[in-house]
A and B are shown apart, each in its own frame.
Chain A
């Protein structure tokens, strides 16, 4: 029961999503863009504290708890839903958009959740809605969506088990900072990490996201992993193992993206790389690095959506998604190319873009904490980001060879959404204080010093030099790179086949053995009772009288001797 008449912002977006199929033409477009903006207004009109409560199964649920951190994530989620809505106006599959809004609405609901049960409920709605978004994609979407769903439900099971354990041991459903010191908390951490794309289950992301439609991937890139970043910041800041998990993700993303041929899969791997930076920031756990992780999540949602929008525009116009089929598109799609390049510069943390003012806060956090190896690895990874996303993506899609294709620019709504997000990337880069003022902790950091700009430009431009020097080694091939999902896509299948063969043989021999026994039993009975059997012969009266006498005699004997 709601104790308040206020509608939670996430629920507003879910309702708009559910109403979308009823709307047509102009009304549908209006709902797609203004709906999320209405949610944004609602986010910013919430007062601090536990605003909406409800009781459920004897627990006091906090449906809306508002503070700086939840407001920051809800803000970027609503903005993202609006930009995605504008981008997707040409998407004829309303089912996808409906699911995307339910998905975004539940992500906002997780961000505002004040207890573990509310987190869990919307966590699972996110998993279901995002699976429907994946399923609205092309030919490979059905199978990829199934694999996606299975991994996320596994994460959900871990989370549920962890919450149940937490309730059983502490009696509390508090969704606050906790130490990873018990089984139930490790399970909660594991459930969160699966959604963040952490090892070993990272493969769900590059497996499923590129199978969604041109617009679906844009929505998918924003919510699941960043919601995971949010809940980790809430519950496990300063958990040391997150530093190592994050570093692994950072380099995993780079290596797999370098080897990848599908343009949207390159960007999908790069999501894991970017989330890795945030996880490192959470693992360090200082105010500086947590600010960095939050700021990075905010700007990453914007530039990654922008990159996937430009990739989606190319897919929409050409129907091609492999780098080996693309190239030379700058001639006829210059706006898409420029917007994609701005996104690529932003993700590379180029000075005067949003990535520069956010990612460097995490590095500063590592330096302040005297974590030398973390700082060096993050710097190397920044160079690697420019290599795999900053140059590789625009180069292979818009330049390299001339593919011969001369596609025109995409529909105007798609262009507008890309231009708006490009502007956001640059404006945040030039006026970082707007972003810094939204962060959970006070910011004591100046991104623009001469030394920092020179260092970053050296790092990036020499990575660019390395890219072109090593270009022969980076030539695209028609290949994929095996990942952990091999275990459930190939190995699991092979195990199932062997199991099938073994059980079939075993069952076959059991059946033939039983058949043999049954047959000999039947033969035995036939021998006695069959046409020539001893019991089916016609006996003479004398023999019958003899045996009757014997039986009567026996009866008398027994009767008297008893």
Chain B
């Protein structure tokens, strides 16, 4: 079963589908940012009123969290058999 051709696998994991998912996702993301022209954000603190705030803040937060986690992992990660002996 593991010797399947790409096309005979589930349609969702075929390279063509994945490429389409990427293209549509990027279109949706772009439209979402443009959505800021349609709505009026009530700004409480300043930065939160900037254009596409949710988009760039969400993206940067995740990058910071992932990189930060990797740094924590450098110090605190152990093999999962650590407590077994």
Contacts and interface: CB of A to CB of B under 8 A. Distances in A.
B58 A259 contact: no
A532 interface: no
Contacts of A372: 44-45
A212 to B, nearest CB: 17
A479 interface: yes
Interface string A22-41: 00000000000000000000
A506 B57 CA distance: 62
B38 A450 contact: yes
B29 A465 contact: yes
B70 interface: yes
Nearest to B2: A404
A383 B57 contact: yes
B78 A479 contact: yes
A473 B70 contact: yes
Interface string B1-30: 110000001101100000000000100110
Interface residues of A, number: 52
A17 to B, nearest CB: 32
Given A331-B10, A481-B72, A490-B83, A457 B54 contact: yes
A18 interface: no
User: Counting chain A CB atoms within 10 Å of each CB, which of B52, B64, B82 scores highest?
Assistant: B82
B45 A460 contact: no
Given A451-B40, A479-B79, A482-B76, A461 B28 contact: yes
Given A376-B45, A474-B66, A454 B54 contact: yes
A518 interface: no
A259 B73 contact: yes
Given A251-B65, A454-B54, 6 more contacts: A255-B68, A258-B69, A450-B38, A451-B39, A451-B40, A458-B53
Contacts of A456: 54
Interface in B40-80: 40-42, 44-45, 47-48, 52-59, 61-70, 72-73, 76-80
A402 B53 CA distance: 37
Interface in A444-468: 449-451, 454-467
B32 A457 contact: yes
A473 B66 contact: yes
A9 interface: no
A458 B48 CA distance: 13
Looking at chain A's contact residues, the main secondary structure is: helix
Contacts of B80: 261, 322, 478-480
A461 B29 CA distance: 7
Nearest to B66: A470
Contacts of B67: 473
10 contacts: A376-B47, A383-B65, A458-B32, A458-B54, A459-B54, A461-B28, A462-B55, A465-B29, A470-B63, A480-B77
A380 interface: yes
Contacts of B13: 328, 399, 402
Contacts of A483: 76
B76 to A, nearest CB: 4
A463 B41 contact: no
B73 A481 contact: yes
A328 B2 CA distance: 12
B73 A458 contact: no
Interface in A232-276: 251, 254-255, 258-259, 261
B44 A482 contact: no
Given A457-B32, A465-B29, A466-B62, A259 B72 contact: yes
B12 A455 contact: no
Contact of A451 (B12, B29, B42): B42
Contacts of B12: 330
A458 B58 contact: yes
A454 B32 contact: yes
B84 to A, nearest CB: 9
